Amino acid sequence: MRAIRIHHVGGPEAMRLEEVPQPEPALAGASPPGSCRCQLHRCLLPHGSLSRPLPLTPGMEGAGVVEAAAPDVSNLRVGDRVAYAMSMGSYAEHAIVPAWMLVPIPDTVGTHPAAAAMLQGMTAHYLARSAFPLREGHTALVHAAAGGSGFSWFS
């Protein structure tokens, strides 16, 4: 399979398209139990710094189709459309993602908006539930600015 790989820190010139072995769920030492291999249809830019060992495949958000699942995965099936965030490796044709991180995509939602909504949706959720629990009488404004999700609330 093909994947974008980074072997040294730098600008876009540090990224190279390479052929790498296709990952398999639940192979001894190759992936965590309870994982799925997803054929990726969309990926988003990586967040944060590259503070991980090199070489690496960047990208932490994606959407696609479950292509294979570890034997202990019971909530997803091959062919399910899914999206995820915060799992490194989406700049590739396939990625191993823990099954608990995969969210089914409704038939009415495309893979591009599903991939884009994952991190922004989680941000809005924790801001409205944890940072400042919204209650009856509060008004919240969720807006996008500069490619991310902004959040404001008023009482």
pLDDT of 111 strictly over 50: yes
Question: Full-prediction pTM beyond 0.85?
Answer: no
Q: What is the pLDDT of residue 52?
A: 72
Rounded to the nearest integer, the mean pLDDT of the chain is: 82
Q: What is the pLDDT of residue 20?
A: 93
* Residue pLDDT, tens place only, 5-22: 988 888 888 889 999 998
CB within 8 A of 151, min separation 6: which ones?
123, 124, 127, 128, 140, 141, 142, 143
pLDDT of 30 strictly over 60: no
Q: What is the pLDDT of residue 95?
A: 92
Using 50, 70 and 90 to split pLDDT, how confident is the model at 151?
very low
Output the 3-class SS for the chain.
Answer: CEEEEECCCCCHHHEEEEECCCCCCCCCCCCCCCEEEEEEEEECCCCCCCCCCCCECCCCEEEEEEEEECCCCCCCCCCCEEEEECCCCCCECEEEEEHHHCEECCCCCCHHHHHHHHHHHHHHHHHHHHHCCCCCCCEEEEEEECCEEEEEEEC
Q: What is the pLDDT of residue 153?
A: 41
C-alpha to C-alpha distance for 53 and 77, rounded to whole angstroms: 32
CB within 8 A of 40, min separation 6: which ones?
62, 63, 64, 90, 92, 93, 94, 95
pLDDT of 119 strictly over 60: yes
Using 50, 70 and 90 to split pLDDT, how confident is the model at 46?
low
Greatest mean pLDDT range, 15-19, 50-54, 125-129: 15-19
The CATH code of domain 2-154 reads: 3.90.180.10
Q: Where are the domains of the chain?
A: 2-154
pLDDT of 89 strictly over 90: no
Greatest mean pLDDT range, 11-15, 44-48, 107-111: 107-111
